[in-house]
Chain A
Amino acid sequence: MRLNSGATASPRFFHKPLGYVSVTLRLRDDSSHFLASLRLRMPAPIRLRELIRTIRTARTQAEEREMIQKECAAIRSSFREEDNTYRCRNVAKLLYMHMLGYPAHFGQLECLKLIASQKFTDKRIGYLGAMLLLDERQDVHLLMTNCIKNDLNHSTQYVQGLALCTLGCMGSSEMCRDLAGEVEKLLKTSNSYLRKKAALCAVHVIRKVPELMEMFLPATKNLLSEKNHGVLHTSVVLLTEMCERSPDMLAHFRKNEKLVPQLVRILKNLIMSGYSPEHDVSGISDPFLQVRILRLLRILGKSDDDSSEAMNDILAQVATNTETSKNVGNAILYETVLTIMDIKSESGLRVLAINILGRFLLNNDKNIRYVALTSLLKTVQTDHNAVQRHRSTIVDCLKDLDVSIKRRAMELSFALVNGNNIRGMMKELLYFLDSCDPEFKADCASGVFLAAEKYAPSKRWHIDTIMRVLTTAGSYVRDDSVPNLIQLITNSVEMHAYTVQRLYKALLDDISQQPLVQVASWCIGEYGDLLVSGQCEEEEPIQVTEDEVLDVLEGLLVSNLSTPVTRGYALTAIMKLSTRFSSVNRIKKVVSIYGSSIDVELQQRAVEYNALFKKYDHMRPALLERMPIMEKTATNGPTEIVQTNGETEPSAVEPKHPPPVTQPTNQANDLLDLLGGNDVVPVIQTTMPTKPASAGGELLDLLGDLSLSGGSAPAPAPSVPTSQPSFLLDGLSSQPLFNDIAAAGIPPMTAYNKNGLKIDFTFERANPNPNIAVITIHASNSTEAEMTDFVFQAAVPKTFQLQLLSPSSNVVPALNQGTVTQVIRVLNPQKQQLRMRIKLTYTHKGSPVQDLAEVNNFPPQSWQ
């Protein structure tokens, strides 16, 4: 039917305005005479197309609003009059205005009246109005139920169709419950027009009221033997819905109905059949049905070997024979790929699927590339190797212009990074980081850090990569990356000099990127001495003086670009340099200036540092010494570094130490049990104090109001990995640990020497309290095999108090290559002769060794 655009197309009755009036004038009844006179006064409502034309002439929004308000008023009064004739026209106009966005709720009841009318025109507009204006939130909608029920049994199929359509689009659960029986009846009719509509209506009913699913089961028996494509399609949709919602249904359809062979047959016919003009789309026969069948096959084949087996051939056939020149072919291929990946397909088929996705990636059409990347992202975990083959194409997609493609390509690239391709991939990803939009930078930076952590081929590469990220996207890195990076740098001991040099150079260039500045100032604070001494092995050492370094740090403090947090870092770094540099006066000056800073945080730090310079100068070296290696907890989550990094805690002035090694405490109790003696006093373990300030307090409590002497301060010996024994000595040599000279010459002694393990004791006095003896044990191993899991425990008589600090390591290297040291503090108020029982446990050449010994040969000076 060819319709001309414009006014003449509509049902003819719209054309009759005033002519109608003359008809009613002929009637003689009083009421109609009255009505006629009314109508004389009011003109007939304007036609729909008239209204549309008028509204389109409005030049401003205000004009349009005015017109619409006027018309709405006319419509409202017309509704009030219960005008049957023009109700249809008025509701149609109302629907138009509703589409433009104006309120139309007063027409809801009128729609219901139209639906109840016997006229097809009315019903058509009425049902349309119901679908547009009503939904289950309006109470009015339930009034429709009876009308729909009647219309479902109407003699005209198009009226039945209207009712089914309305129910299937917006029926609420109450309506669905009431009318499900009718729908089920229509599902069994032979009329294919009604059957297909009933099928989709049933889908809606099931979505709203899943319990009613069983009701439709018998009707589904013969659905797939239909020839009509419409019925076939809607039946497949109905079966899909049932299988998705109920595993029982799924099992039933797999086994009893033998759905898979039926579907395979239908699909095969579609592909093999000749050209059918009715269903053809660019040379493919009914792609909509094909895709729906593939989707149902996916659900049937999931986790089921037999079904998957039965559909292997047809999937391969579809995958290889479908034309890919147009979008429709790609749509079918896409669905096929999704199905292959979800079922238990053989590996050849899976490789075929991934290759199809790879081909999609090379397609010019953005939509297809997008779809391919999304699917690859889903499959990369399971078919990692197959996806790896397309890595270069995926990396190329990073350079695409479209934002969503770039994002997916980035996610996929990170998923594909592994130990083999890390160098190449990182180059591409860093290049991407340089050039991408700001919205990507944070995610990309985090991804780079994660990947680098997992697969870094060398420490230097790792640090270089981090530097690169910090310098290019420094302001976008996440907040928790700063502590993570600091921890990483601390743990890469041999790279300290190189790292601090590179960071210093980066600072000279640019101080605007806060994470970079924070990490750099922390490193300079820690390793400033390495920087100044020019010890770098990895690259050309730069000549830097102490003053230049302090200039840079002071520059950070005053710069407008630095945030308060950064200033805190800078101040602490300067303070730390007071023990590493010689220009202490300059540092003192800086620190005292900030004692009156407006920033409370800075002020507090400066005041406390000032106190360190004045009253507690003896504590300064110990408090500001090098940070030990930090324990790594989780890679992603907030690590313990957050609490150990002194910078992040406002109240902590000094750098904190890692959490205590809990081993010795338990074993001390074991020792006690073992020795069982009554004259043995429990060893009081206070190993690593988490807050040195308060730990000082603890020690004070313990030892009775003493002040710690700088020289014999407990060395927080860190647990160092075996590969770096030299660090141990370096670290120790920076503070005067073996203050034999200061200890007024108490000679060292050998406490134990057996099976190649030698333990020497060296003594110091804890000034000024002569009652405390600080003994340092040195364990050395003269055998060819190292001793691992080395634990030293001690117990003393009741009159003594003993404190065992944590050991430097629990591996005693072979052939006297190094020693394990541990500090014991003994309080001897009654000046009795010092005696000690020691217990040693270690693993030597694979077998555990344990030994007990008594140490009685303490030199008299140690306890007198």
Chain B
Amino acid sequence: MVSLWKPLAELSSLLCFYSGLRPRVAPVRENSTDQTAQRREGRVHLYASLYFCAGLEEQDNELLALEVLHRYVELLDKYFGNVCELDIIFNFEKAYFILDEFLMGGEILETSKVAVGVVMEEADTLQETMEEYMSKPAY
């Protein structure tokens, strides 16, 4: 899997500069060398000015993968409100958090559009204010 990303990363260095985000929505973020990994396809999907790469296994449904990408963009849109490129550039960690509520280990975690939004809201409220942050112990 790692080897798949490296050449793609080279390709997209220009894009990084442009959109500020290394364009990958990786359903499988695993970087380990999985000995049992089956044949994986890499696909580059153009979505407005975002580029998605998805690694698929042989038994995966390619058409559904397109739906997964679409659903993710919808979730981003709902969270940021009319999402644009800059949202993702400046809030990349949020993009990752949303991804982590939608997918895990390469599989879909939550199929409800509403649920992910609710979870993100609640988790955001848990993020401490300055006073709370300073008063809580580090370890």
In the complex, residue of chain A having the shortest beta-carbon distance to the beta carbon of B122: A158
Q: Is the CB–CB distance between B64 and A291 below 8 Å?
A: yes
Given A3-B91, A99-B21 in contact, is the A121-B29 Cβ separation under 8 Å?
no
Stretch of A164-172, A452-460, A769-777, A829-837 at the chain-chain interface: A164-172
In the complex, residue of chain B having the shortest beta-carbon distance to the beta carbon of A158: B123
Nearest CB on A from B32, distance (A): 5
Q: Is the CB–CB distance between A169 and B104 below 8 Å?
A: yes
In the complex, residue of chain A having the shortest beta-carbon distance to the beta carbon of B112: A278
A169 neighbours in B (Cβ, 8 Å): 29-30, 100, 104-105
The complex places the Cα of A3 from the Cα of B78 at a distance, in Å, of 10
- From B22, B108, B126, contact of A288 by CB (8 A): B108
Q: Is the CB–CB distance between B81 and A230 below 8 Å?
A: no
Q: Is the CB–CB distance between B128 and A165 below 8 Å?
A: no
B114 neighbours in A (Cβ, 8 Å): 277-278
The complex places the Cα of A803 from the Cα of B139 at a distance, in Å, of 100
B79 neighbours in A (Cβ, 8 Å): 1, 3
A1 neighbours in B (Cβ, 8 Å): 79, 120-121, 124
Q: Is the CB–CB distance between A128 and B93 below 8 Å?
A: yes
Is residue B119 within 8 Å, beta carbon to beta carbon, of the partner chain? yes
The interface size of chain A toward B, counting residues with CB under 8 Å, comes to 85
Residue-by-residue, is A272-303 near B (CB-CB < 8 Å gives 1, otherwise 0)?
A: 00000111010000111101100100000000
Q: Is the CB–CB distance between A13 and B133 below 8 Å?
A: yes
Given A201-B105, A288-B64, A335-B61 in contact, is the A170-B30 Cβ separation under 8 Å?
yes
Is residue B134 within 8 Å, beta carbon to beta carbon, of the partner chain? yes
In the complex, residue of chain A having the shortest beta-carbon distance to the beta carbon of B28: A169
The complex places the Cα of A121 from the Cα of B138 at a distance, in Å, of 11
- From B29, B66, B111, contact of A327 by CB (8 A): B66
In the complex, residue of chain B having the shortest beta-carbon distance to the beta carbon of A92: B93
Given A96-B92, A158-B126 in contact, is the A170-B80 Cβ separation under 8 Å?
no
Q: Is the CB–CB distance between A100 and B22 below 8 Å?
A: yes
B17 neighbours in A (Cβ, 8 Å): 56, 64
CB contact list, A1-58 vs B, under 8 A: 1-3, 5-7, 9-13, 15-16, 49, 52, 55-56
- From B64, B90, B136, contact of A287 by CB (8 A): B64
CB contact list, B80-124 vs A, under 8 A: 80-81, 84, 86-87, 89-94, 96-97, 100, 104-105, 107-115, 119-124
Given A9-B91, A278-B115 in contact, is the A120-B80 Cβ separation under 8 Å?
no
Is residue B44 within 8 Å, beta carbon to beta carbon, of the partner chain? no
A327 neighbours in B (Cβ, 8 Å): 63, 66-67
B136 neighbours in A (Cβ, 8 Å): 118-119
A415 neighbours in B (Cβ, 8 Å): none
The complex places the Cα of A335 from the Cα of B109 at a distance, in Å, of 19
Q: Is the CB–CB distance between A85 and B128 below 8 Å?
A: no
The complex places the Cα of A119 from the Cα of B114 at a distance, in Å, of 27
Is residue B16 within 8 Å, beta carbon to beta carbon, of the partner chain? yes
The complex places the Cα of A348 from the Cα of B129 at a distance, in Å, of 64
The complex places the Cα of A200 from the Cα of B104 at a distance, in Å, of 7
B94 neighbours in A (Cβ, 8 Å): 3, 9
In the complex, residue of chain A having the shortest beta-carbon distance to the beta carbon of B45: A367
Is residue A631 within 8 Å, beta carbon to beta carbon, of the partner chain? no
A56 neighbours in B (Cβ, 8 Å): 17, 20, 89
Q: Is the CB–CB distance between B90 and A52 below 8 Å?
A: yes
Q: Is the CB–CB distance between A10 and B62 below 8 Å?
A: no
A113 neighbours in B (Cβ, 8 Å): 139
Nearest CB on A from B123, distance (A): 5
B4 neighbours in A (Cβ, 8 Å): none
Is residue B137 within 8 Å, beta carbon to beta carbon, of the partner chain? yes
The complex places the Cα of A322 from the Cα of B130 at a distance, in Å, of 53
- From A165, A295, A331, contact of B67 by CB (8 A): A331
Stretch of A131-139, A632-640, A807-815 at the chain-chain interface: A131-139
Q: List 18 A-B contacts (CB under 8 A).
A: A3-B80, A5-B86, A6-B90, A12-B129, A99-B21, A118-B139, A119-B133, A120-B123, A156-B126, A158-B119, A197-B104, A200-B109, A207-B36, A207-B105, A230-B111, A288-B64, A288-B111, A289-B111
Besides A120-B126, A170-B30, A230-B111, 4 new A-B residue pairs in contact (Cβ under 8 A), listed by A number = A9-B91, A165-B100, A165-B104, A229-B110
Interface on B for A, CB 8 Å cutoff?
Answer: 9, 13, 16-17, 20-22, 29-34, 36, 59, 61-64, 66-68, 71, 79-81, 84, 86-87, 89-94, 96-97, 100, 104-105, 107-115, 119-124, 126-130, 133-134, 136-139
Interface on A for B, CB 8 Å cutoff?
Answer: 1-3, 5-7, 9-13, 15-16, 49, 52, 55-56, 64, 84-85, 92, 95-96, 99-101, 113, 116-122, 124-125, 128, 131-132, 135-137, 156, 158, 164-165, 168-170, 172, 193, 196-197, 200-201, 203-204, 207, 229-230, 233-234, 237, 277-279, 281, 286-289, 291-292, 295, 327-328, 330-331, 334-335, 338, 367-368, 370-371
